[in-house]
Copies of this chain bind each other. A is one copy, B any other.
Amino acid sequence: MARLVECVPNFSVSKEKDEAVFQGLVDVAKSVPNCMVIDVQSDGNHNRCVFTIVGAPEAIEEVAFQLTKKATETIDMTKHQGQHPRMGSTDVVPFIPTMDVTIEECVEISKRVAKRIWEELQVPSFLYEESASRPERRNLATCRKGQFEGMPEKLLDPDWAPDFGERKIHPTAGIIAIGARIPLIAYNINLDTSDLSVAKKIANSIRAAKGGFQCCKAIGVMLEERNIAQVSMNLTNTDITPIYYVFEMVKALADRYGARIIGTELVGLTPGKALLDCAEFYLKLENFNYRTQVMEYNLL
């Protein structure tokens, strides 16, 4: 069984605005052994791109550094324009435990990468999310507030010294947010009602902040084009709060309000185990071990 970490670094360049620089990053991402580029998204309006890379912890550490090096050498933030908030050529580098790796190990990876980036590239960084050195730095938006242009002043604020590096940005590469992040599953449940208040009441009942499931964030939203209400969720740890917990609870609460579940959706990449856990639950599987019994896990 492979140990796997996911890294989803964001860079302040787009294929649409500067294809050569963008392609340079793609080439670097694909050049590091023992990791795989699963997805690359580029947005011209944001003038920004996002890589999704999965691989062995050591390989992920290396590819994160090499990409940052390339971005530092090729992206000049003094000339960058785009709609999305950003503070560096390499803007944010999250590490996400994926298989047989703990969040603590990802925190260590993030700190080693941040240290190396400062020592070898002289780009400072904030540690955010699980790696944060103080509570207010957990939030990426808080770290990034002021953006590239406001950072020189922000770094002089007593509360905003970088976690790695001196109190000044890299002149062209700015500053980076680096950290470990718990894997999120974005899961939405659609109801057969156009009454938004039903979805909101259900969301209120199941979310951690209101006495619901420990690892569930939920809101009620309208899907205007379908005229139905949706419970939109982030599940932050499906080992603790499995998908079938929220499905069954939403089903029961919807019933109480006279509504039914008509469909659900997973947004983006989901670890297979989160779904195999649901198959195990609904099929009442005894002594099931996905690592030995599911063929694909023998190949990873």
Residues of A that sit less than 8 Å from B by CB: 4, 6, 36, 38-39, 54, 98, 190, 243-244, 247, 261-266, 268-272, 275-276, 278-280, 282-288, 293-300
Contacts and interface: CB of A to CB of B under 8 A. Distances in A.
A295 to B, nearest CB: 5
A54 B4 CA distance: 21
Contacts of A269: 293-295, 298
For the complex formed by this chain, how many copies does it contain in all?
2
29 contacts: A4-B299, A36-B298, A39-B298, A54-B298, A98-B295, A243-B279, A244-B283, A247-B283, A262-B284, A263-B285, A264-B284, A265-B286, A265-B287, A266-B285, A266-B288, A266-B293, A268-B293, A269-B295, A269-B298, A270-B293, A271-B295, A271-B296, A272-B272, A272-B296, A275-B279, A275-B283, A278-B279, A296-B296, A296-B300
A261 B284 contact: yes
Contacts of A279: 243, 275-276, 278-279, 282
A-B CB proximity, top 8 nearest: A275-B279, A263-B286, A278-B279, A282-B282, A272-B296, A38-B298, A272-B294, A269-B295
A67 B65 CA distance: 44
User: Among the interface residues A271, A278, A288, A297, which one has the most CB atoms of the partner chain B within 10 A?
Assistant: A278
A205 B278 CA distance: 27
B275 A190 contact: no
Q: Majority SS of interface residues in chain A?
A: mixed
A235 to B, nearest CB: 12
B243 A270 contact: no
Contacts of A266: 285, 288, 293
Given A272-B276, A275-B276, A275-B279, A285 B297 contact: no
A148 to B, nearest CB: 32
B294 A270 contact: yes
Nearest to A288: B266
Contacts of A284: 261-264
Nearest to A2: B299
A36 B269 CA distance: 26
A264 B39 CA distance: 37
A202 B258 CA distance: 35
B264 A285 contact: yes
A29 B63 CA distance: 33
A249 to B, nearest CB: 13
A45 to B, nearest CB: 24
Nearest to A262: B284
Nearest to A246: B283
Contacts of A278: 278-279, 282-283
Contacts of A283: 243-244, 247, 264, 275, 278
A287 B144 CA distance: 35
